[in-house]
Structure formats: structure tokens, C-alpha cells
Structure 1
Amino acid sequence: MKTYIYSTCVFFFFSFFISAQSNNKDVLFTVDNNPVPASEFVRVYKKNLDLVKDESQKDIDQYLTLFINYKLKLVEARALDFHKKPQYIRELEGYKKQLAKNYLVDNEVTEALVKEAYSRANYDINAKHILFRLEPSNKDTVEVYNRLIDLRERFKNEDFNSLQKELHNGNTILVEDLGYFSVFKMVYDFENEAYKTSVGEVSMPFRTQFGYHIVKVFDKRKSRGEITAGHIMISNNNKETTEDPETRIKEIYKLLEQGQEFESLAKQFSEDRSSASKGGKLAPFTSGQLSSTVFEDTAFGIQEDGAISKPFQSEYGWHIVKRYSIKPVGSFEDMRYELENKVSRDSRSKLINTSMQNKLKKQYNVSNENTARAYFISILNDDFYNRKWQLPEGFSKEKTILTIGNKNWNYKDFASVLRSQQKGDVKGKSFEQIVDDAYESFLNTCVLSYHEDNLENVNEEFAQILNEYREGLLLFDLMETKIWDAAKSDTLGIESFYNKNKENYKWKTRVEAAVATTSKEKDIEKVRQMFKDDKPVEEIKQALNGNGEQNVIVTSGIFAANHQALPTNFEFKEGVSKVYYQNNAYYLVKVSKLIPESYKPLDEVRGVIINDYQQELEKNWIDNLKRKYKVTINQQALQNIKEQIIN
């Protein structure tokens, strides 16, 4: 599915139902005689008001223009039968099923599971386990259970490494150190046993979808909470400068040891552009949130606010981290939404589903009794165990077996479920048990299906969101066909657009230069003289950074005017510059060559060109749609909306 559709069309897709402030019969505008109510516009405008980044979109008239363009595209999409395409229908059905999950839950059970998850989120468990793998269809076996009972005593007292060496085969028996983990990191059945087991104890054998386990808990610690930190990063892959990343980070660390400010050095040298301008400060994060374990462990390992780490390497480069603060796990209310989402996606959802199924049976007055039980038991035979069973001749496939509301299911529907049971492990099961298990699954599926099919009729919020998905998918397919893919494949059009707009794709004047920075005015004067004497950069570094001190950092490369290494308002000319002072440091630049403005080659900026070309195509296309479909705006309704929003 096109999950990225949200970012493309966020303008419209997440407008949840709120009380309309305009009369539903009050038409704001029509497109090709199709009315659009004022209430819809108000709802979408208010919901998206805080999401839009372009201030012009907060202007009601500008927003209305965008909204009309949106409706024009939808009219065109339906005129071209995009809504009848099989792929569109499949994707819409997929979205509908995903959305319906939020409305097919037992809120009481969900609340209990969310509270349990919050309690566990406050702790991390350090555990090891022994697993005897079994297929989910395998029955519980006394033999495996008893073997784990015996091993439980050994697990309590013997060295884990010795047990691992003796038992672990990587296939049927796993003996693993799981390290620290918290809520949602393991399947729910395993998590339950781990959190119920005391430190130093070994659980009784228990079963999950993977087989039988015993788990030993070695430690239970308070969650590390949320840390606010900053960093200075030197990338492993910076092609703009020639300095070795490890050497550079160690130079910066010496400056910190000599008393220079972390934030000032981050602004000067950190190659994480998103945080450098903020003095290296990062958004708060929790354990497991970042993609680098070594970075997290180093950050959480800093013992006090204001302290910094030694230089270390991650997957992305070399870092120095500063800790600003740490706060514990948030309150239950702060974490509720996140926990609810995780519970709904976790194996806990099976508990919620079972509870919901039971409530729906009561709501729709559905009995668990299978009125055709005896008949289906009578038509089973030993072929079922060999996956060869077929329905008998004269099978009454159209006879009703279940009725919920105005919908009926027949013998054929249940027989399909029954036949599918042959694919599972049914050996040892009686015909009675086979039929009963199949009917339970069949009944639960039917009652949920009936409720789901009727959601759009009984739940206004669901209906509103589903319609926005419906229109969003339609718009995406139309834009992909008419604009995005068309632009990408139009080689001649792209080249023509580039040639007509070459002035927009130029390299500004750049310099090949060496940039020296230091916190000491006397040192920058020494650099100035050595620059004038054409001393090599390495010689300058050796002369000024002796005796274990890091007094000067020199960065060499090719720089544009806005490059981080250059001082603000740097004057582009060859030779040695004047001394600049900013970010609590002195800057001196020696320019060896001016690189004049030049056009960027098409291949180098093709992605940008395609994006700009798509925007031009879309503008021309919208103009054509406005000529094709008449748009009439109700000015009085628009004025009423403006007064409501302003007031």
C-alpha cells in the first residue's frame, strides 16, 4: 500500500470528525454541479490549521483555492473511472480493514492491558532463557515439560555459559542471553512470565508460539527514562573536507578539555546539520528510540548533567555527547496514546478480540450453538486426517447455518472453514472436536465481519475518516498517473524545462580555501603570518598545537557562501582574509582559488528538476480542469465561514 500517501496529501487526509459549525445544507461551492458543504470545508480547515507549514494556507481564501483544486482533481478522477480500478478497490479495502481495527476492540480489556503495560514500562528486565522449539500446532507434551522441569534446577544453580555450550544447538534447543528488555519487546506470553518471575528465580515451564521456555531473571532495573543531550558529530562520509574524522573529533575534545564551550564548538564543527545550529542539542529520546545502541548507551552512561563523554564512534561517525538532563518515565496519561497503539498491534490484541467477540454475540443475540453440528460430524471420515476429505454428493450448500441481523451464512460457508482445518494438525482430534473448533472460529469471524461491514452506517467518525481515505487514495492514483510518473518519463520535457530555467540551477561562487579557528586572538595572529608565508596546513597545525594542546583547528576544502566552516558575511576574494569573530571564536580564511558561478549539469540536479517540472505540469493541468469543470462559489456562505473562524 501507498503508506507515504499521508505525507503527500496531509492537507486533507487526517481531518477527523468534529461538530460542524456550518449547516450541512449550506453549500460553499459546486464543482460541475456537485455540491460541497461548508461544514466539510470548516472541518478540514480547523483540523489542519496546526499542521500546515505554509502560512499562506492558513489564509481562508488561499485555503479555499487549494480545497477547490482538490475537489477538481477528484471530479476528474471519477470521470476517468479511477475509482473502478481493481488496484484502487483492493487498496481501499485494505485501508478500511486497518481503520476498522480501532473500532473493533473491547475498551475495558484494552484499558487493563494498557495500565499493565505502563507498569512494566517503568522497569527493564535482564533475563536468559532455554527454549525447546515446537510448532504451534503441536500438542503439549509431558516429555518436553518434564525435561524443562529437570533443567530448571540446573538453570538455578549452574553456570549459564556451561549450560549454553552443552544444550544450545541453534535449531531445536536455544539457550540465549536476552540482555535487558522492557514491555513490548517480547511476545506477550513470554513477557508475562518474565515480569512475574523474581530476580534470581527461574520460571516454571510455559508455552509460547515458539515452543516451551523457562526463563531466569538476573536483574530488574528502573527504566532509564528520557534523556536530553547534545552532540558534536564528525561524519564518516564527509566528502567536502579532507580531515580524518577520528583526528578531528580528538582535536575538538582537546579544546573542550581546555575549557572551550561545547555549544560553541558544536556550531563550528558538528556535521549533524540539524543540531549544529542549536549548539548540538538533540530532541529528548528514550532507550531504544535511536538507531544506534552505542550512542544511547554512551549518552545514558554519563553520570551527571553538564558532563561530556569521551570521543566514540557509532555507525554514523565520531561523536562527543553532552548530557543536559534526564527525566523518568512519563505519567500514565502522557503515555496512554502510545501504549494503546502498541497494545493494539501486540499479541495482547487476541485477548481484546476474544472479549469483543463475546460482547458482539450478546449485542446481536447470537448463540454459540451449532444447529448443524450433528450433520457435519456425520459427513466427516478418515480422509479428513489425510487432507483428502471432500463434501458428499447431495450436500445442501445453500442451507442456512447462521443468521446475524439481515445477513445469512450457509452450509457452504462453514464447509469452507471446515475443509481448511485439514491443513492444520488434526491427528488425534475427534470428529466432534474438529467440528466444534471449526465452528467457534467460523462464528467469531462472522460476528466480527458483520459488525465491521456495518461500521460505516453506525459510526459517524468511522464514516468520515473512511471517506477521506477513499478520496485520498483516489487523488494519489490520479496524481501518480497524470503528473508524477508522466514527468519522470518525459525526458524531452525535462531537458526543455531545464534549458528554459537554467538560471535557477547554478553553482554560486565558491572558494578553495583553508579555514582556521581558535579561541585565542594571539593564535589567530600567528596563523595569519603563517598563511601569508604560504606555510602548509600541516606545518601550521604542528606549530600551534604542540605540547598536547589543541589551540587551532584548520579545515580545508571547497566551500560555498553558506558553508558552516566559513564565518558569516565572509568576503569572497583570493588571499588571506581579515579576522572574523563569532561563536566565541576567531576565524581566518586563506583562499587559494575562486571558483566562479557555473550552471549545474542536468544529471547532477535531475531530481530537483523533475520536482520543479512536476509543479509546472500540475499548475497547467489545474488550469485546464478549471476550464473543463465549472466552479461556483457561494460568497455568502464563505463570508459566514470567515466570521465564524475569526470569532
Structure 2
Amino acid sequence: MKLKLFFTLLLTAMALNLNAQADAEEVLFTVDDDPVYVSEFLRVYNKNLDLVQDESQKDVDEYLALFTNYKLKLKEAKTLELHEKPSYLRELNTYKKQLAKNFIYDNKVTDALVEEAYDRISYEVKANHILIKIPENANPQDTLVAFNAIGKLRDRALSEGFETVRKEVHNGTSVFGEELGYFTGFRMVYKFENAAFNTEIDDISQPFRTRFGYHIVKVLDKRKSRGERTVAHIMVGIKPNDTLSENPESRIRDIYKKLNQGEDFEALAKQFSEDKNSAAKGGLLAAFSSGQLSSPEFEDVAFNLNEVGDVSEPFKTKYGWHIVKLHAKKLTPPFDEMKSELEAKVKRDERSKLIDDALYAKLKAKYHIDDGQPALDYFTSIITDDYFKNTWKLPSDFKGDSPLVNIGNQQFTFKDFGDYLEKTQRGTNPKSTIKTIVSEKLDAFINTRLVLYQENHLEEENEEFAHIVNEYRDGLLLFDLMESTIWNTANSDSLETQNYYNANREKYVFPKRVDAIVASSTNQRVLKKVAKLLKRNMDLEVIKNLVNNNGEVHVVFTSGIMDANHQALPDDFEFSKGISKIYKHNQAYIVAKVNAVLPKQLKTFEEAKGLIISDYQTYKEENWVNDLKAKYKVVVNQNALDKVRNQIKN
């Protein structure tokens, strides 16, 4: 499902309950006689107050103008009947079902599983296992054979040694004896994780079953997780059209030599790192934990640095060449920092079955549904072997009108469950008994109907849920309107965007730039020598060989077309042709040979196309909103607005 609410601050976060001094049901304004209440305005204003970056939008009147435009757009969307589109209704229903899960599940069960998960990810277990592989739907006889076989292997492992037995019995088809290495929470199926974490070091677990078959596990070691690292790096990217004379590896090794010569890591990162997001911060990256980055090579180097301040040798990843410096290290983040992330994982994991079971039990108690299955015998009696062939039909004398179960104000009959049996017979396990099949399907039918009934009535029972759904409903509608009215048309209307560009071309310019070679060094005396050599138009490679010798790098060169914001140039750099003066920059010195000064220049349509389309969309939307104001009459209740102003000021 696409979350389409990013474009407006009116549609984020959860609703707040307000003790409004103004009458909550008082009308604040109308749009063509459709009322907008004080309560809605106050709720949206207050919940978004901390998110608003533009201080002017915190002003009640400024915010009212935004909110009025928002309501005008919704009015237009409903006039165009966008709220009746099947795609809109499908996406809204999907969102409601997802959101409902946050309101109907038992938080106590979820919280306990989240706490357990945190304990698990705080450690890593090293283990080996033996698996007797059997299908998840194996018949009772095969299951018993596998269970007895794993029990015998455990007895042998206790007497002969686990490793001896593991290596002997492994055949890679029906029996697996594997070394698993270290793993932490969420890396194995939940039942296996439980067995591993609940078994002491050097012990062998009791036999247990997962969907793969029967296992025993030998725990070899347990250790604290590797935790979290904060590092800085200098990166030289791998670019096929690099304008620098040397290749990336040569450049990073030159920088590494400067580090070994005692130059400052952060200063070198500011001068030469091509990771633009971190260079200005001396190469500093956000803290990360094991498995969080998309580069295992980078992680391994970072986690192998032991002491704060340690610096790695140059190494290569898919992004380029790096040097890494360790800034901080800590163990697993505190529970509160990880709770939300762990909760999301728990709900995607096998643990979710425990959460589901708790929900079913809660809803059965709420709607007075007992665990008995009085209809079981009847349905067992009408199922035939055709069910395993996916050809079974309800018999002609089927008692479809008989009551099956009552949930709230909805009565389900034998016919409802009979239809469910017909629709779900495909893929039935041929090794199961008919009674088992009917019992499992009856449970599934009732559980599904309980959840669906609760979801369908949640807006009536929970005000907070109702507010969030309503905001998403409006936001989704507004997105569809903007997409069809502004965004898509602005992208496709090439003539109009071209006309807009022609009328506003002075907005789209390249700034003044230089085509230059910039030499950087911490040694001002060496730079004076470089300046003289550059003035003589000496070949760059010759200059480098003269100033960087005996395995030492004193000067690093950068060349290309640069504007005033380029990291190699100081803020007060003079844009004039020839050899520049020596500037102090980023704890070093630079001198530049400016081959040409490129004046400020208009961008072509193609060069500025993205920005032109964005500006044209803004221009078109402003005109469109003015048309909506003319189309729909807005009347503000001044008395209610005065009360709102007073309340917000207080």
C-alpha cells in the first residue's frame, strides 16, 4: 500500500483530545454550506504545532487560510466523485485494516514478546544442530518415526559427542548436521531461537520441532552482541569519468600517507571526502549496529577497530575507497530506543501467532463465544473424500439455515461456514483426518469473523481510531485530486511548462564558476613552490612528483569546474584567471590555478527541467485554489474564530 500523506502537515500524527474552551461542536466555517467544526480545527492545529517549520503558520489566521484551502480541495474532490473510485476505496480499506491492528491487539502480549526479543538481540549464540527433516504436514506415523529418530541421536550425542554424531549422520537430504556460527534474535525461526537461547553452553537441547522437522541443538558459546559503532570516514568514489589525474585507490593512499604524517583526519575529510553528506562534519556518520549498513565490508572494518581514535588502512567497498576512524562504541542501544523497531519485527515474525491467539481469546470473551464446537459432528458427517480432491459440494439436504455462532449483532449460519468449507478445500492435507480438518477450519472461520467484525465496528467504538481513519480518508482523496489536477498535468503539459520557463528564465541560472586546479597542503612553504610551478604551466604529474616524493604526500590536487560552494574553495576565493593567492581553508592551505572564469549563465530548459516543473506546479496550484475560492462560498463564523484565537493565546 502506498502511503500518500507526505505532502501535507495536516495529515500526520495521531489526534489529541482537547478540553476546548470554545464549543467543540460549534461551526467554525462553512464551504458551500458544508460545516467545519471548531473541534476538528483545534485538533489538527494542536497536533501539528510542533511539526510546522514556518513560524507564520503557527498564527491562527495563517493556519486557518491553509486549512480553508485544504477543505476547498476536499470539496472539489467530492464534487468530482473521486471518493467513489474503486482504487480509492480499496486503498482506504487496506489502510483501515492495517491501522486496526494497532488498536485491537493485546498490548500486554506484544510487550512481553518485545522485551524477550530485546533480551535476545542483546546476545549472540554460537551453536550447531542436527535436523531430521520431515514435511510440516507429515502424517502421525512419519512424525513419530522422526521424533524417535532424533531422540536416539540425542542419546548418541550425549555418549559419543555431539560433533562426532553430527558429522556422521549429515547427508544433506533427510538429515542435516550443520555448523551455524553466531546468531542473535530474529535470525532463526522462533522455535529454534527459543531452544538455542534456553539451552546452556555445552548442553544439548531436548528434541523440538519447527516447520523443517525435528532438531537438537548444541550451544557452544554465548556472548554480548557487537553493539553499535560511531565512525568517521574519508571516501573516494569510483567514477568512470573521474576528472582527477590519479585513480581512486592512488588518491586514498595519498590521503592515508598524509594521516600517517600527522595531519588531522577531520580536516582531510572536509577537504577530500566525496561523501558530501558527511564531509562537512569531518566525515562523521550516524551510529549503526551490525547488519544495519548495506556494506558488510565497511561494518567489519568498523567493528574491528578496538580503541576510540583508531584509524583503518584504506579498503574498498562497492561505493569506493575508504579510511575509517572510530569515534565511539557502545553495546546494544537501550530498550526504549529499540522498542518500536522490535515491535514491528515481532509482528512480522512467527511470534505473531502468539499475538493472534491472544486476540482471538480476547474477542471470544468480549462477544461471549465459547471454545465448544457443537456443529463439529454434523459437518464431519457431511464431508467426503471428495474434499481431498477439491471436488466436494454441499449436500442437497444441507441444513444451511441452522444458527452457527452469533457475534455482536451479526448471526452466522451453517450456510456461511459451509460456503467457507467449499472455498478452502484446495490444498487440504490428505494425511489429516476429516474431523481434524473441520475442527481447524471452524476455528479459523470464527477467528476471522471475530476480527473482521471488530474492525468493521472500531470507528464506532474508538474515537481516536475514527479521527485517524478520517484524516487518512481525506488525505488519500486529496492526493488523488492533486495528482490528477496538478502533478500529472504539470508533468505532461510540455507547452505550458515551456511557456512558464520562457517567462521566468532569469530564475534558472548557473552561478559563476571556475575551471581550475586546486592544490591543498598543510605546509604553506610547499604551496608557494607549487604556485611557482603552476605559473610555469608545468605538467601536473611532474609537479606531483616534485612535491610528493620519498613516499610522502605533501600536496593533494583537485581539478575541474567548481562554483563558490565547492568544498575545495574557501568562502572568500577570488574568481579571476591565473594563479590565486594562498588561502587558509579547512585547517590547511590552498592555492589555485584558474584556467578560465565561467560567468553566470542561463540554464537551458533541459538543464533546469526538474525545477521548472516544480515551480510550474506551485504556480498552477495557486491559480487553481483561487478558482476554487470563486466556485465554493466560504463563510467564517467570526464569533467562533475569536474564541479559538483566545483559547490558543491562553
TM-score range, shorter chain: over 0.9
- Report the 3-state secondary structure (helix = DSSP H, G, I; strand = E; otherwise coil) of the residue aligned with 1:323: strand
The alpha carbon displacement at 1:517 in A equals 0.5
Aligned to 1:634: 637
Aligned with residue 506 of structure 1, among 506, 509, 530: 509
Looking at structure 2, the residues matched to 607 and 203 of structure 1 have their Cα atoms a distance apart, in angstroms, of: 61
User: What's the TM-score once normalised by structure 1's chain length?
Assistant: 0.93
Q: For 1:409-558, what aligned pairs fall within 5 Å after superposition?
A: 409-558=412-561
Counterpart of 1:195 in structure 2: which amino acid?
Answer: F
Aligned with residue 224 of structure 1, among 217, 223, 226: 226
Counterpart of 2:195 in structure 1: which amino acid?
Answer: E
* Structure 1 range deviating more: 391-400 or 478-487: 391-400
Deviation by residue 1:301-359 (Cα, 9 ceiling, x = unmatched)? 21111222221122211111221212222333343333333222322111011112112
Q: For the Cα contact (< 8 Å) 2:252–2:314, is it kept in 1? A: yes
Aligned to 1:35: 35
Distance 1:208 1:23, change over 3 A: farther
Deviation by residue 1:408-437 (Cα, 9 ceiling, x = unmatched)? 112222012222442234324333222222
Distance 1:548 1:637, change over 3 A: farther
Distance 1:193 1:586, change over 3 A: same
Looking at structure 2, the residues matched to 598 and 119 of structure 1 have their Cα atoms a distance apart, in angstroms, of: 60
User: What's the TM-score once normalised by structure 2's chain length?
Assistant: 0.93
The alpha carbon displacement at 1:520 in A equals 0.9
Q: For the Cα contact (< 8 Å) 1:15–1:43, is it kept in 2? A: no
Aligned to 1:93: 93
Looking at structure 2, the residues matched to 155 and 44 of structure 1 have their Cα atoms a distance apart, in angstroms, of: 67
Counterpart of 1:226 in structure 2: which amino acid?
Answer: E
Structure 2 gaps, min length 5 = none
Q: For the Cα contact (< 8 Å) 1:137–1:425, is it kept in 2? A: no
Deviation by residue 1:16-41 (Cα, 9 ceiling, x = unmatched)? 33335343123322222222222222
Aligned with residue 193 of structure 1, among 186, 192, 195: 195
Q: For the Cα contact (< 8 Å) 2:236–2:252, is it kept in 1? A: yes
- Report the 3-state secondary structure (helix = DSSP H, G, I; strand = E; otherwise coil) of the residue aligned with 2:425: helix
Looking at structure 2, the residues matched to 57 and 203 of structure 1 have their Cα atoms a distance apart, in angstroms, of: 62
Aligned to 2:162: 156
2:258 corresponds to 1:252: no
* Structure 1 range deviating more: 613-622 or 583-592: 613-622
Deviation by residue 1:263-309 (Cα, 9 ceiling, x = unmatched)? 11111111111111111112222222222222222112211112222
Q: For 1:525-604, what aligned pairs fall within 5 Å after superposition?
A: 525-604=528-607
* Structure 1 range deviating more: 428-437 or 135-144: 135-144
Distance 1:555 1:158, change over 3 A: farther
Looking at structure 2, the residues matched to 324 and 527 of structure 1 have their Cα atoms a distance apart, in angstroms, of: 35
Counterpart of 1:640 in structure 2: which amino acid?
Answer: K
Distance 1:529 1:236, change over 3 A: same
Looking at structure 2, the residues matched to 103 and 15 of structure 1 have their Cα atoms a distance apart, in angstroms, of: 13
Q: For the Cα contact (< 8 Å) 2:139–2:431, is it kept in 1? A: no
Q: For 1:275-294, what aligned pairs fall within 5 Å after superposition?
A: 275-294=278-297
Q: For the Cα contact (< 8 Å) 2:88–2:477, is it kept in 1? A: yes
Q: For the Cα contact (< 8 Å) 1:155–1:202, is it kept in 2? A: no
Looking at structure 2, the residues matched to 19 and 240 of structure 1 have their Cα atoms a distance apart, in angstroms, of: 59
- Report the 3-state secondary structure (helix = DSSP H, G, I; strand = E; otherwise coil) of the residue aligned with 1:8: coil
Looking at structure 2, the residues matched to 523 and 440 of structure 1 have their Cα atoms a distance apart, in angstroms, of: 83
The alpha carbon displacement at 1:177 in A equals 5.1
Looking at structure 2, the residues matched to 174 and 497 of structure 1 have their Cα atoms a distance apart, in angstroms, of: 69
* Structure 1 range deviating more: 188-197 or 583-592: 188-197
Q: For the Cα contact (< 8 Å) 1:20–1:39, is it kept in 2? A: no
Looking at structure 2, the residues matched to 265 and 521 of structure 1 have their Cα atoms a distance apart, in angstroms, of: 16
2:80 corresponds to 1:75: no
Q: For the Cα contact (< 8 Å) 1:240–1:558, is it kept in 2? A: no
Distance 1:350 1:535, change over 3 A: same
Looking at structure 2, the residues matched to 321 and 75 of structure 1 have their Cα atoms a distance apart, in angstroms, of: 56
Deviation by residue 1:496-542 (Cα, 9 ceiling, x = unmatched)? 22222222222222221110000111111111111111112111211
Aligned with residue 167 of structure 1, among 168, 171, 185: 171
* Structure 1 range deviating more: 618-627 or 377-386: 377-386
Counterpart of 2:453 in structure 1: which amino acid?
Answer: Y
The alpha carbon displacement at 1:575 in A equals 0.8
Q: For the Cα contact (< 8 Å) 2:129–2:215, is it kept in 1? A: yes
2:51 corresponds to 1:51: yes
Counterpart of 1:409 in structure 2: which amino acid?
Answer: F
The alpha carbon displacement at 1:129 in A equals 4.4
Counterpart of 1:121 in structure 2: which amino acid?
Answer: I
Counterpart of 1:92 in structure 2: which amino acid?
Answer: L
The alpha carbon displacement at 1:219 in A equals 3.1
Distance 1:55 1:226, change over 3 A: farther
Q: For the Cα contact (< 8 Å) 2:130–2:215, is it kept in 1? A: yes
Deviation by residue 1:122-162 (Cα, 9 ceiling, x = unmatched)? 112234445555543334623444554566638822498x6
- Report the 3-state secondary structure (helix = DSSP H, G, I; strand = E; otherwise coil) of the residue aligned with 2:515: strand
Counterpart of 2:557 in structure 1: which amino acid?
Answer: V
Q: For the Cα contact (< 8 Å) 1:364–1:404, is it kept in 2? A: yes
Q: For the Cα contact (< 8 Å) 2:402–2:413, is it kept in 1? A: yes
* Structure 1 range deviating more: 340-349 or 130-139: 130-139
Distance 1:278 1:71, change over 3 A: same
Distance 1:293 1:175, change over 3 A: farther
The alpha carbon displacement at 1:88 in A equals 0.5
Aligned with residue 401 of structure 1, among 395, 404, 408: 404
